[in-house]
Chain A
């Protein structure tokens, strides 16, 4: 990264790039770094893709407004591109375009395809700075009834979809 920045400075000093290009170049480098590092983005594997993360979850339900209100109120997600009719993006984590994920909450389509033979039966979200008492109290204050164990609780959204919340210790792929 330092070499990349040094090259940018050199190109700016020699007039090969403008001040604006310089600033945008550094900002872009920050975005790429956050999304898995420059190497990850520059090198696709020989076979298959390189996974960076979940981009979005497409959530279909009878009334997207109830889902919108639940996920924004209970989980602190940001409402974006709400069309007021049938869908909204609910963003969380890093900023959009910099690794953030989002739920697309939408009303059930009239021409929905036949269901698959598999199902996503729940989604678990990581909460930083986990504290059992604080998490349970916060959920109860929002009218939820959390159940579970230390470091991990389950609630159900307005359409009875299971939502798990967990700490890094309780739900870690390598523990």
Chain B
């Protein structure tokens, strides 16, 4: 991206493009670069583009749904007898501009169900897993740790504590560890 910007700036300084053209080209690049990258990177095999949803099973899905809705300002859709869906945005929004049409918003699926029941669609019994997702980290907008810490405590969120350089941890109503951060916490900075 920076190389492209520098090239266009050179062309502008050399009089090859107008000021208006420079602004239009950079605006277009800023708002489409990620979609273009994702489209050209369409995989030949199986390659995860984004988390579609997290299936979260707990003793009281309504209580969980209400907590996550309150803390993260999430709407609830698709209420059923044993589950509720919390999309990470409004209908029609694109997650991070991953692609124009093909990747929906991530959502949290809060459920109360028997995990010993067979999987649907002929999947057979669910084997006992020896792995555990011991916490989930969420990215939130405008993350400033001190301000967010105060905000969470004011909402009555339990066990709010610092995590590493860039994040906070807290505990949901069922003792599940939830981490939050901004974009600064990522695969290149964590660990």
Q: Which residues of A contact B (CB under 8 A)?
A: 1-2, 5-6, 9, 12, 19, 22-24, 26-27, 29-31, 33-36, 40-45, 47-62, 67, 74-78, 80-81, 83, 87, 89-94, 96-102, 104, 108, 112-129, 134-135, 138-139, 141-142, 147-149, 152, 154, 156-157, 159-162, 164-166, 168, 171-174
Contact = CB atoms under 8 A, between A and B. Distances in A.
Contact of A29 (B30, B34, B89): B30
Contacts of A104: 190-191
A41 B143 CA distance: 8
Given A54-B106, A83-B191, A120-B54, A99 B137 contact: no
Interface residues of B, number: 103
Nearest to B147: A44
Given A59-B133, A60-B131, A173-B85, A164 B52 contact: yes
B115 interface: yes
Interface of A is mostly: mixed
Contact of B137 (A2, A31, A57): A57
A24 B3 CA distance: 10
B15 interface: no
Given A51-B141, A174-B77, 6 more contacts: A40-B142, A52-B141, A54-B106, A93-B50, A99-B139, A173-B105
A49 B148 contact: yes
